[in-house]
């Protein structure tokens, strides 16, 4: 029976990358590469290496058997070594794990697991980016009110919102490309990193193992690969989750009853509340925000794992069994959910237009200030004039246009027609459309 929600509620293709059988398969893959590298150097008989490689898979070495041995010896790696050794014929089992320490196998295998996980992660990022770009293109002319500090500011467009998010996701893809060279590394350096057990050909052996596995060898290590590498990948996952949280939080706010400009997709038979039949809660977006907090929490642990004692201690081991699969699986789920939400967003044009006009022209004060300055008024004087006019408009509950049209100081510089023209919110979005088009071109 499953205990963790990542095994049931938030599971996906990433789960298979981190399940116990795949972990065993990757450990065995590294053991096979080690044996073949030894054979190439003449350290062990070629036939022994071939036999080890032939049996180093989960078809021959069963997870159940490895666990049975582990219950007796209390060491998971030694259990795998014994389980593989007993499957090898002709004395080949005696050469399994030759010269290696546990983390030569485990850390190198973790890099193999990360390689598969990062490939899935990259696909999720690419899918979200594509969805955001599509919405940016569709809504580059959809003018809405922009908000700062929770207050109406000046007009913007929904296309620009989506373009900003798409650019952010693109940076995650860029970061991923840069991080791979630091993440996808393996080691064969022994108990404290000196390679003493591998003899004079140690560098050649390590290079051969990594070539077989498609990884880069570390330049230097202790008994473990240094954990700054692992913290970097958890950091990247956390950044991605934070971007999804940003998107989801904006959707949640825009779906508030008082705003209701957009709403996340809601099925015809979907229930919003067990007691309030009318509710249409943004629960998918809320779930994204909730899970992003969990992903970020793993980063704190990963950072603390960097400062291991001397050539290593075991304080990283137990928590990495949790934070590695949890961070990847939850980030995968969050990215998939965010893509689904953005793809199915429902827009309410009437509410968008209503909110744009809600302030009775106050959101155009900036435009009038700039226009007066261009006509010759001192910029600071123009700012003060618009500030006082805005205060009067709010107090008198009238449109700002009415206040300015009755102000001799304004009429000295602007005609009534110019004042009226300046209050067309839809025409005050600057280069927003061009910004979106330039971003889409760059991101394509």
Return the active site residues.
Answer: 149, 273
**Contact (Cβ atoms closer than 8 angstroms) between residue 244 and residue 338:** yes
Residue with tokens 């302030």: 359
Closest C-alpha to 264, from 168, 162, 346, 197: 346
DSSP state of 425: G
**Contact (Cβ atoms closer than 8 angstroms) between residue 382 and residue 407:** no
Radius of gyration of the chain (CA): 30
**CA distance readout (Å), 347 to 21, 121, 244, 255, 263:** 45, 29, 19, 10, 7
Q: How many CB atoms lie within 10 A of CB 8?
A: 11
Locate the DSSP E strands across 123-278. 143-148, 151-157, 185-186, 216-217, 262-263
**Contact (Cβ atoms closer than 8 angstroms) between residue 35 and residue 96:** yes
Angle between helices 283-304 and 228-254 (to 10 degrees): 160
**CA distance readout (Å), 61 to 79, 103, 165:** 11, 20, 46
């Amino acid at each position: 029976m499953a205990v963790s929600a990542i095994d049931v509620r938030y599971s996906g293709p990433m789960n298979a990358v981190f399940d116990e059988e795949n972990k065993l398969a990757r450990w065995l893959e590294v053991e096979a590469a080690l044996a073949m590298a030894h054979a190439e150097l003449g350290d062990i008989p070629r036939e022994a290496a071939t036999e080890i490689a032939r049996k180093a898979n989960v078809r021959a070495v069963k997870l159940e058997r490895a666990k049975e041995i582990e219950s007796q010896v209390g060491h998971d790696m030694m259990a795998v070594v014994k389980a593989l050794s007993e499957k090898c014929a002709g004395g080949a089992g005696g050469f399994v794990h030759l010269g290696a320490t546990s983390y030569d196998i485990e850390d190198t295998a973790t890099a193999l697991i990360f390689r598969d996980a990062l490939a899935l992660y990259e696909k999720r990022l690419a899918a979200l980016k594509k969805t955001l770009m599509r919405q940016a293109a569709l809504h580059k002319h959809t003018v809405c009110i922009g908000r700062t500090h929770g207050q109406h500011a000046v007009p913007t467009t929904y296309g620009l919102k989506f373009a900003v998010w798409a650019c952010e996701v693109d940076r995650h893809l860029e970061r991923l490309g840069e991080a791979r060279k630091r993440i996808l590394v393996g080691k064969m350096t022994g108990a404290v990193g000196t390679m003493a057990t591998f003899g004079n050909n140690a560098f050649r052996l390590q290079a051969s193992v990594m070539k077989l596995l498609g990884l880069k060898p570390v330049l230097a290590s202790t008994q473990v690969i240094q954990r700054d590498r692992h913290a970097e990948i958890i950091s990247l996952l956390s950044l991605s989750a934070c971007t999804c949280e940003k998107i989801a939080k904006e959707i949640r706010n825009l779906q508030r009853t008082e705003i209701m400009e957009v709403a996340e997709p809601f099925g015809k038979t979907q229930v919003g509340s067990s007691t309030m039949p009318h509710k249409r809660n943004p629960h998918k977006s809320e779930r994204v925000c909730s899970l992003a907090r969990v992903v970020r929490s793993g980063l704190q642990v990963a950072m603390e794992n960097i400062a291991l004692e001397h050539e290593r201690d075991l304080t990283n081991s137990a928590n990495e069994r949790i934070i590695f699969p949890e961070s990847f699986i939850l980030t995968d789920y969050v990215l998939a959910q965010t893509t689904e939400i953005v793809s199915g967003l429902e827009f309410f044009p009437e509410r968008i237009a209503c909110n744009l006009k809600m302030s009775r022209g106050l959101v155009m004060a900036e435009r009038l200030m700039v226009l007066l300055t261009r006509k010759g008024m001192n910029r600071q004087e123009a700012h003060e004039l618009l500030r006082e006019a805005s205060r009067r408009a709010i107090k008198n509950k009238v449109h700002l246009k009415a206040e300015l049209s009755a102000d001799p100081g304004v009429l000295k510089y602007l005609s009534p027609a110019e004042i009226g023209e300046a209050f067309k919110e839809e025409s005050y979005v600057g280069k927003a459309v061009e910004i979106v088009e330039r971003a889409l071109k760059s991101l394509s």
